Homo-oligomer: A and B are copies of this chain.
């Protein structure tokens, strides 16, 4: 005589949530996408991207041709233009926007959909994805796909080796106060000033007082449409866009190259 089979009472099982992906799509040239980014974007139910009002969004321009008819697109539109994002104190002011964006993504994850949040450059290097990661990575499984940064693309475009062997590299946002910039750039081996925009004159002055202005390069929209490369010394009167940067290559291997201006 056998024991009766005990059928355990089914516990109420939560439906599995979706997986959150932060996907770096590179600096602008669609060919600088990685195979992994392409695969992950193609495998997700929803593709989300940030964009400024009335602009397509840099990441979106790279990704749009890859979207298949069965995929849904979630456009997360900033309440103002990108240029305003850098203003001091603005970060707090748009916290509510990021909160709302995170909840939109969470709603998709809650129904079991995988979401790829695409992001220009590399997600964890000044990327907008970080604001969602901060709000969601403790609630959902997440994976970040690293991407080629605008720093690497700018050095390649300028043909300037950036940092070698025993040199250090200092990366700063252009929004820093002029005296902070000056202090931070004094005595660097190699440096990059990101998101130069309307701070170009301050950056030029800070590098001049560090004795580095003559070896610095200005790069606008590295690898993308409208890429422009100039010696920093020739940028008087240039109206720098938000996505521009200044490179100070390390001295070690930085000389003897043909001028690409």
Chain A contacts to B: CB under 8 angstroms: 24, 26-27, 29-36, 38-39, 86, 88, 91, 122-126, 130-131, 133-134, 137-138, 142-149, 151-153, 155-156, 159-173, 175-176, 184, 223, 253, 256-258
Contact = CB atoms under 8 A, between A and B. Distances in A.
Given A34-B33, A125-B152, A173 B162 contact: no
B138 A146 contact: no
9 contacts: A122-B152, A122-B155, A123-B161, A130-B164, A134-B256, A144-B159, A168-B173, A170-B170, A171-B171
Contacts of A165: 86, 91, 126, 173
Contact of A171 (B156, B166, B169, B175): B169
A85 to B, nearest CB: 8
A29 B169 CA distance: 25
Given A142-B159, A149-B152, A164 B126 contact: yes
Contacts of A130: 161, 164, 253
A124 B217 CA distance: 15
Contacts of A160: 124
Contact of A168 (B26, B147, B171): B171
Contact of A223 (B24, B131, B146): B146
A147 B31 CA distance: 11
Given A134-B161, A166-B173, A144 B124 contact: no
Contacts of A39: 31
B257 A138 contact: yes
A187 to B, nearest CB: 10
